[in-house]
Structure 1
């Protein structure tokens, strides 16, 4: 593989909290700034932050990345950019950092943040004939596409691809059991920055059984197979990585995660759950790898049915996905989720030295997807979250 690709040298996240609960009073700045601050503190001697890129969906407006960067004490001279690529925003931010590091030397902090609990209520303006009405979500696609909500779209994809309820529940149960086991073993601790006194993910449920999952009713229609238990929960959280250009990395003498390829791609907007398929196929092709060579796979578990359809299309065994549990168990803080996938790969491949190659993928509203292929570059073990190198 090419040694010219940018390298992630650190990756951290907040705990993930269920919306309206653990982080109910916190803003995007409250969640993102501590992560950026800790990453900046842990940079090797002589490195500074040259830019911040964060994803955020329908948050407070303005430029949340700039607010978080300033609150983190990065310096007024550090530029910041906020982008919105729906729930792929965090991985799209990593993609933009990758392009920047390919074109110039420096260090970029990139990721995503979602504070759904404190997201402002938005209204369409009223007229003399019609009162103001709440703006629930932006359209994902214009006519003539049906522009379905993600839940019904996931049901449709599952039905078309023959993913039955039992298989979805079995996958969801595995996600919960894996996440609970990892949390209890302290397996997430090295990647988490404590926020407001919270240092563990809130959502994973130790009491789930196959029988309990089977009791949940379809969430999006009587004939559907997606339920509240085999789908992700809306959540609050932030995640970010520190990425450097290849020449800078070559002089650091530390481990990292080389980003071999990052690709955004599109598919049928009425089947948005399949967006990660063309993105992953293109990212693998660009990296020269195939799924059999992967040691770690992190896909965003929005809905079990949709995810399993993607796995089948990519030829990935479902047991390979999210070995420590995924969004069904941990939660889905929209704009942060893509970056959380990369943090998870960093922990497995770099911190634990658990293999060489990894793949992250996320499907996005509007028929989009984003995927990244990474390679571990082993070296000295990184310090704990609370340490400064």
Structure 2
């Protein structure tokens, strides 16, 4: 992995609301090819709600990679971007050629989905006979099952915003350089918040036991991210080597639980343990989901303190959650963090996936 960048992340119906998914992806694909010094021969692109039509191929053409560059798409919900990079890595191993992989999501321009003529907000994540909860209800259920209080969730959301504001330099490095073709757009999510402000939010679900609020659920957002992958013996300068990748299944009723087993799976592939990691980036779709993962991995103290190796510049609770891109976005941040570390440093990117799956990737700085 020789380069990685992302677009700014903006809330749905805000600064990037007129930019369709293939253009978000095309611009960041073209940008990530520049530092790599070569165009890819294939593009793999994750997406959840776009218009179809093979978004990977459309974005490859939009990026200017030429007619010979093939492309295809992946839908693994909010794991799409990370699974796309896994497939891209597999393609590099098979073909020995350069591949660009990532994810893009434009909820602002996504088509309305209909079932029996009625618009739906969420496609099914599991068939009849399996639990298929709304994701916010699932986050509430997970908080109850894992005894994660609202106070802990609020504190984790505050941490995300605080770190994003403190580490704008890192966030700037991972964003596309210069002025994007659609104008001067920056991340519009991070806020200066206080515990008192968060305490005023009402739960999203109308239930006495509900604890998930608008502050502890990542906002819906537009954005894209991509990485460039080349054979390890062709990688110039500092880069990351993929040492493990996993997509695991779990309980569809509590989908937030599956990220931790995915992390353990990639560590086992390399004979490593959590203590060996220099950095960990987890998609913060919900505070309860992220905390359940971190608790399971021993990366919290069971109260409000989170291991400083985790999401050092905040995450989706501050920036927003462009579903199909979020898995690549945490990987891009991990790349930029590890490039500041000494050779041999290990890092993991991970996400929980709607429908009861977890995805993770282990990388080493070379």
2:12 to 10, 19, 22: 19
User: Which residue number in structure 2 is paired with residue 102 of structure 1?
Assistant: 93
Instruction: Return the alpha-carbon distance in structure 2 between the equivalents of residues 354 and 300 of structure 1.
Output: 25
Contact 1:349 1:355 in 2 (8 A): no
User: Which residue number in structure 1 is paired with residue 303 of structure 2?
Assistant: none
Change (3 A) 1:231 1:136: closer
Per the alignment, in what secondary structure is the counterpart of residue 117 of structure 1?
coil
Residue-pair matches, total: 356
Per the alignment, in what secondary structure is the counterpart of residue 93 of structure 2?
helix
Change (3 A) 1:259 1:115: same
Q: What is the deviation of 1:149?
A: 0.9
Contact 1:15 1:198 in 2 (8 A): no
Contact 1:235 1:333 in 2 (8 A): yes
User: Which residue number in structure 2 is paired with residue 35 of structure 1?
Assistant: 28
User: Which residue number in structure 2 is paired with residue 333 of structure 1?
Assistant: 322
Q: What is the deviation of 1:164?
A: 0.6
Instruction: Return the alpha-carbon distance in structure 2 between the equivalents of residues 203 and 353 of structure 1.
Output: 31
User: Which residue number in structure 1 is paired with residue 165 of structure 2?
Assistant: 180
Q: What is the deviation of 1:146?
A: 2.3
Q: Deviations over 1:145-197 (max 9, x none)?
A: 221011111111111111111111111101110011112xx321222114322
User: Which residue number in structure 1 is paired with residue 118 of structure 2?
Assistant: 133
1:358 to 331, 334, 347: 347
Q: Deviations over 1:74-111 (max 9, x none)?
A: 01000001111111000000110111122221111000
1:291 to 260, 270, 274: 274
Equivalent residues in 2 for 1:1-389 (5 A)? 8-44=1-37, 47-125=38-116, 132-183=117-168, 186-193=169-176, 194-195=179-180, 196-206=182-192, 208-222=193-207, 223-249=209-235, 252=236, 254-317=237-300, 318-319=306-307, 320-351=309-340, 356-377=345-366
Instruction: Return the alpha-carbon distance in structure 2 between the equivalents of residues 354 and 261 of structure 1.
Output: 17
Q: What is the deviation of 1:230?
A: 1.4
Per the alignment, in what secondary structure is the counterpart of residue 48 of structure 1?
coil
Structure 1 residue ranges, 4+ long, deviating more than 6 angstroms after superposition: none
Scaled by the length of structure 2, the TM-score of the pair is 0.94
Unaligned runs of 5+ in 2: 301-305
Instruction: Return the alpha-carbon distance in structure 1 between the equivalents of residues 20 and 364 of structure 2.
Output: 34
Instruction: Return the alpha-carbon distance in structure 1 between the equivalents of residues 254 and 343 of structure 2.
Output: 34
Scaled by the length of structure 1, the TM-score of the pair is 0.89
Instruction: Return the alpha-carbon distance in structure 2 between the equivalents of residues 105 and 349 of structure 1.
Output: 25
Change (3 A) 1:295 1:342: same
Q: Deviations over 1:223-271 (max 9, x none)?
A: 211110112111000000001112222xx3x010111011000101111
Instruction: Return the alpha-carbon distance in structure 2 between the equivalents of residues 62 and 135 of structure 1.
Output: 21
Comparing 15-24 with 95-104, which one deviates more in the overlay? 95-104
Contact 1:296 1:355 in 2 (8 A): no
Q: Deviations over 1:98-127 (max 9, x none)?
A: 1112222111100000001000112234xx
Q: What is the deviation of 1:326?
A: 0.5
Q: What is the deviation of 1:351?
A: 4.8
Unaligned runs of 5+ in 1: 1-7, 126-131, 378-389
Q: Deviations over 1:257-292 (max 9, x none)?
A: 111011000101111111212211111111211111
Contact 1:52 1:65 in 2 (8 A): yes
Contact 2:343 2:365 in 1 (8 A): no
